[in-house]
Structure 1
Amino acid sequence: MTGPVLAVDQGTSGTKALVVCPERGVIGTGFTPVRTRPLPGGLVEADPRELYGSVVAAGRAALADAAEPVVAVGLANQGETVLAWDPATGEPLTDALVWQDRRAASVCEELAPHAPELTRISGLPLDPYFAAPKMAWIRRRATGAGVVTTSDSWLVHRLTGAFVTDAATAGRTGLLDLDTTTWSARALDLYGLGGERLPHVVDCDTPVGTTTAFGPPLPLTGLLVDQQAALLAQRVTEPGTAKCTYGTGAFLLAPTGSVPRRGDSGLVACVAWRLAGRTDYCLDGQVFTAASAVRWLTGLGVISGPGDLDTVGGAVPDAGGVTFVPALAGLAAPWWRGDARGSLTGLGLDTGPGQLVRALCEGIAAQVAELAGAAAADLGTPLGTLRVDGGLTRSALLMQTQADLLQRPVEVSALPDATALGAAAVARLGHSPGLAVRDAVPDGKPSAVYEPRISADQAEARMERFRAAVATVLDGGRDATAGPRPTGPGAGA
C-alpha cells in the first residue's frame, strides 16, 4: 500500500488540493480562489500566473493541514483553457482563454466546410468551447511566439520542466486522432497549426518529473482532465452507467469501453483515460451554465447564494408556469449553438423569487436529462442510475428535480471533491505500477439517493415545455412550431 498523495484540482473558480491516504481517506485540504474576467462579446479570461499561484498555495495548504509527508502528486485541469507561453522561461505570453470563452467563433466559421471531417478525426464538434479554435485564434490574433497549449502543459512545465499533456486532456483539443490517441497532422493543418511544437501525449498514470513547488521534491505521477477525473473517482467505468458533475457548468459522461462511440446525437466522443497503455473512451455532454447561472441569479438579488435554492424554491409548490432556458453562455450539447442566449418565459405579476429558482433548477435539470437521452440513443440502451457530484448537489430541490425529469434514480456522491480524488487515483497508479484501478479509487457509498416523485407523463410534459422554449431560443424568437435548426456535431459551426 502506498503512502498519502497530494491531489490538485485546478478549476475555473479556484484550486482545490487534498492529501489523500489509502487507509484514512482525506487527511488534509487546501483551497485558493481564482478570478476569471468575463468581458463583452463572450470573452472569458484568467491570469495564468494566478492559476499557477493557486496551485502552489492550495497544495502547500493541504500539506500543512495534513502535517505528514506524501509520496506523489496528481494534477487535474480545466481541459479547454489555453494560453501561449515561452518554453525557455516558462513565462506566459497571453492571458489564459478560459473554456467558456467564445472569441474563436470566427475560426469555427471559416472552418465550417471541414466540420464533418474534424469531427470524424477528433470526435469533437467544431466549437469555440474546445481548445484548438482558441489556439488558432491566439496564433492569428495575439502572438506567434512561444508555444500555445492547454493550461495543464504550462502548469506541468512550471512544476517540473516537462512538456507533456495527458491523453484525455489532449482529446479535448480537437487536434487528437481519437482512434490512435496521437496528434492528427490533418487536423493541425486545417487549423493552421501544422508547424506548432506540441506537448508529448502521455498516459494519465505516467511519472513526468519532479517538483519542489510544494516544499520537498515530489514526483508528479498522475495527470487527468477534470471531468474524466470525476468519472474515475465515481467508479463509473462500464457502458450503461453515467455521472454528472454540477460545477460552473454541468457535465455528463457515459463510458463506452475500449472503442470510441461516434454517434449522431450531438454528444462528444472522447478519451476517458489512458492507463498503462490502454485507452478507454466515453461520451460527453456539456451544460455551459449551472453554478454560474446560480451566481447570475444571486447577482440580481433574487437569492443570496446557492444555499438559498432550497429555502426560496421550497417556499412555492412549482415554477408557476415559468420556463427558464439558462443558456447564459450559449447552448452546448446536443444543440451546439454558442450564439444562443437564455430566456425566461411565462412571467406574470405573481412571479416571485421562488418560481424563478424552481424554473432555474428545472432548466439545468432538463438540459442534463436531454444529455442522458442522447447518451442512451448513442449507446443503444437506456442509462441506469445517474451518479452525481459537485457543489450544486447540495441542493435537494435541484437533485429531486433531476430525478423527476430523468425518471431515473440520482445518487449523490459522498465524495465532495470527486475531481481531486480522481487526480489522487491516477497519482497512486503512476506511483505504484501494477496497482489495480479498483484499488486506487475511493469506495464511497452515496450520501443520498433521489427517486422520481412524478409520473413519466408529467416528466415528459415538463420536458416538452422546455424543448419548446429551447426551439424558440434557437430560432431567434420565431414561433417554436417552425421547428429547431439542425443539431448535432458541426451544426451551427
Structure 2
Amino acid sequence: MAGGAVLAVDQGTSGTKALVLCPERGVIGMGTAPVRPRHLPGGLVEVDPRELYDSVVAAGRAALAEAGAPVVAVGLANQGETVLAWDPVSGEPLTEALVWQDRRAASVCAGLEARAEELHRLTGLPVDPYFAAPKMAWIRRHATGAGVVTTSDAWLVHRLTGAFVTDAATAGRTGLLDLDAVAWSDTALDLYGLGAEALPRIVDCDAQVGTTTAFGPALPLTGLLVDQQAALLTQSADDPAAAKCTYGTGAFLLAQTGPAPRRTASGLVSCVAWQLGGHVTHCLDGQVYTVASAVRWLTDLGVVTGAEELDAVGHGVADDGGVTFVPAFAGLAAPWWRGDVRASVTGLGLDTGPGHLVRALCEGIAAQVVELASAAASDRGAPLTALRADGGLTRSALLMQTQADLLQRPVEVSSLPDATALGVGAVARLGQQPGLALREAVPEWKPSAVYEPRISGDEAEERLARFRAEVAALVERSGGGREGADPGGGAGTATGGAA
C-alpha cells in the first residue's frame, strides 16, 4: 500500500473510534470517545446529535495526537439507519437522533402494509422501523416539518465539510433507494410521504466530498461508508465468497453477491455493499438486534459483571441445563421480521444458575446467526465455507465455539479488531489515490483464531430445533400480528417454569 497515512473514523452506536493507518506500519494512532444513547420506554432509543459530532472530533484529534504524524485524507463510517432533522443553513439539529434500534416508527410501517411487497422489490428492504425511511417519515409526522431529515452521516459530513451528500451504501439503508438504478426512488419517497424532501446527493464511497479542519489541519474527506459494509470490505476483499458477522451491540451478517442486486426469498436484506469508482457491488445482509445489549441485560441483573466474564461463568457448568434463551429484546429481525416478538428465557428450574443463563444466551445469539447464514447460503446457491467474525464479543471463546458448533462450519476470528475503521480507511485511501487497486488498499486477512465444530451435525440440529421451537411459540403467542401491531419494542420478558 503506497501513499501517506489516513485518518479512519468509525462513528458507532455506543462510541466513536478513530485510527491513523499508515500503509507501512499499520495502526500508529488511536482515539476513542463515548456516545450514550438513551433507551426509553416503548422501544425508543435516541441520542443527542451533538454528542455524535463531538465524539467524531474528539476521537479523531486523539488519534492524530497519538500518531504524531501527518495524514493525507479522512474516511468516515456511520451507523447506517440513525436519522435526525437539521437546519441546512446553520447546521444545527432540530430533533434528537433516532438510533437504528428505535421502534417508534412501527405505526408508519403498519400504514404501508399493503405496499410492503412493492417497496421490498424496489428497494431490497422490508418495511421495518429498523430502516431510515420509516423514522424519517415519523419525524415529519410527529416532530418537525422544518429543515431536512437525513441519516446521521449526511449531517456529520455537512458539519465537517459543508457538503450535502451521502454514500450509495448508506442511501441503500434508507428504504428510499431504487436498488437497480442506485438513485432515489420517487415511488418510495411518495409512499413514505417524503416526496417533497431535499435529499443529499448520492456519491461514490471513494468520492472526494470536501475538506475539513475539524481535526486541526485542512484534510480532504475522501471515504464514506456505512459501518457493516466497511467491515465486510475488510474481511472479504481477498475472497468475495466469504461471509462475515460482526458481534457488537447487535450481530450483522453480510455476504457479497456481485455487481447485480440479488432479490431474496429468505428474509435477508439485499443492498449496496459499496460503490467505488462508479462500480457497484451488492450484498446480502441479516441482523440480530440484541447481542452485546443482551449481555448488558445480564450484567444489569448481576448474572455477570460484564462481557469479559462470560467465559468464566459459562465454563462453570457443562451445558445450558435445558434453558432456552431467545434474546429478542427489540424483536426478531431477519429472517423473521417480527418486531412485535419479545425475549424469553424458558426451561428455568431451581437448579438453574448463572452459568446456564450465560450458555443459553450464547446459544440464542449463535442460533440466530445460523439462521442468517442458512438464508445467505440459500440465496447465493452455495453453502458458506467459513464465517469470518469481528467485533467486541469475538473475545468470548465460549460464544465463538458455540457459533462454530451450531453452524457446523469454522469460525475465523479477525486478527484486526477494528474492521469497520480499517474498511473506511481503505476507502479513504482509494479516494485519495484513484489508481490504487482494492486489494492494495485493504489489509491482508489474517485470523487470530479459528474455531472448529466440536459436536456432531445431529447434536447441532437437535439444539437448533429446540431454539426454533421456542421462536415458533413466541411468534404464536404474539397473536400472529406483523410489525406495527404495537407501538414499539421494550424490555423483553423472562418466562420461566420447568421445560
User: In which range does the TM-score fall when normalised by the shorter chain?
Assistant: over 0.9
CA contact (8 A) 1:175 1:183 kept: yes
Look up the match of 2:151: 150
Look up the match of 2:301: 300
Map 1:376-395 to 2 at 5 A.
376-395=377-396
CA contact (8 A) 2:340 2:484 kept: no
Look up the match of 1:132: 133
Look up the match of 1:89: 90
Secondary structure, aligned partner of 2:447: coil
Map 1:207-356 to 2 at 5 A.
207-236=208-237, 240-356=241-357
Look up the match of 1:372: 373
Query: Which whole-Å CA distance do the structure 2 matches of 1:427 and 1:106 have between them?
Result: 39
| 1:230 alignment partner AA | A
Secondary structure, aligned partner of 1:296: helix
Query: Which whole-Å CA distance do the structure 2 matches of 1:457 and 1:270 have between them?
Result: 34
CA contact (8 A) 2:405 2:460 kept: yes
Instruction: Please say if 1:6 is aligned against 2:4.
Output: no
CA displacement, residues 155-178 of structure 1 (integer Å, 9 cap, x when unaligned): 000000000000000000000000
Please give the TM-score of this superposition, normalised by the length of structure 2.
Answer: 0.96
* Structure 1 gap ranges (5+): 479-484
| 2:173 alignment partner AA | R
CA displacement, residues 59-98 of structure 1 (integer Å, 9 cap, x when unaligned): 0000001011100000000000000000000000000000
Look up the match of 2:54: 53
Task: Describe the shift of the 1:137–1:45 C-alpha distance in structure 2 as closer, same or farther (beyond 3 A).
Answer: same
Which range is displaced more, 266-275 or 230-239? 230-239
Query: Which whole-Å CA distance do the structure 2 matches of 1:97 and 1:179 have between them?
Result: 28
Secondary structure, aligned partner of 2:236: coil
CA contact (8 A) 1:258 1:279 kept: yes
* Structure 2 gap ranges (5+): 489-499
CA displacement, residues 214-238 of structure 1 (integer Å, 9 cap, x when unaligned): 0000000000000000000113565
Secondary structure, aligned partner of 2:345: strand
Moved over 3 A (4+): 236-240, 489-493
CA contact (8 A) 2:208 2:223 kept: yes
| 1:104 alignment partner AA | A
Instruction: Please say if 1:106 is aligned against 2:98.
Output: no
CA contact (8 A) 2:237 2:442 kept: no
Query: Which whole-Å CA distance do the structure 1 matches of 2:134 and 2:35 have between them?
Result: 24
Query: Which whole-Å CA distance do the structure 2 matches of 1:22 and 1:241 have between them?
Result: 24
CA contact (8 A) 2:340 2:481 kept: no
Please give the TM-score of this superposition, normalised by the length of structure 1.
Answer: 0.97
Query: Which whole-Å CA distance do the structure 1 matches of 2:271 and 2:485 have between them?
Result: 18
Query: Which whole-Å CA distance do the structure 2 matches of 1:127 and 1:267 have between them?
Result: 13
Look up the match of 2:22: 21
Give 1:241 shift.
Answer: 1.9
Give 1:383 shift.
Answer: 1.0
Secondary structure, aligned partner of 1:124: coil
Aligned residues: 486
Query: Which whole-Å CA distance do the structure 2 matches of 1:3 and 1:391 have between them?
Result: 29
CA RMSD of aligned residues (A): 1.6
CA displacement, residues 154-212 of structure 1 (integer Å, 9 cap, x when unaligned): 00000000000000000000000001100000000000000100000000000000000
Give 1:491 shift.
Answer: 12
CA contact (8 A) 2:340 2:485 kept: no
Give 1:486 shift.
Answer: 9.8
Secondary structure, aligned partner of 1:452: coil
Task: Describe the shift of the 1:237–1:280 C-alpha distance in structure 2 as closer, same or farther (beyond 3 A).
Answer: farther
Query: Which whole-Å CA distance do the structure 2 matches of 1:212 and 1:189 have between them?
Result: 38
Query: Which whole-Å CA distance do the structure 1 matches of 2:290 and 2:467 have between them?
Result: 16
CA displacement, residues 253-296 of structure 1 (integer Å, 9 cap, x when unaligned): 01101111111100000000000000000000000000010011
Instruction: Please say if 1:66 is aligned against 2:51.
Output: no
Secondary structure, aligned partner of 1:30: strand
| 2:429 alignment partner AA | R
Query: Which whole-Å CA distance do the structure 2 matches of 1:384 and 1:119 have between them?
Result: 29
Query: Which whole-Å CA distance do the structure 2 matches of 1:236 and 1:290 have between them?
Result: 26
Look up the match of 1:403: 404
Query: Which whole-Å CA distance do the structure 1 matches of 2:30 and 2:328 have between them?
Result: 33
CA contact (8 A) 2:234 2:422 kept: yes
Q: Percent identity?
A: 77
Task: Describe the shift of the 1:477–1:117 C-alpha distance in structure 2 as closer, same or farther (beyond 3 A).
Answer: closer
CA contact (8 A) 1:240 1:382 kept: no
Query: Which whole-Å CA distance do the structure 2 matches of 1:288 and 1:236 have between them?
Result: 26
Give 1:434 shift.
Answer: 1.0
Give 1:240 shift.
Answer: 3.6
Query: Which whole-Å CA distance do the structure 1 matches of 2:27 and 2:301 have between them?
Result: 37
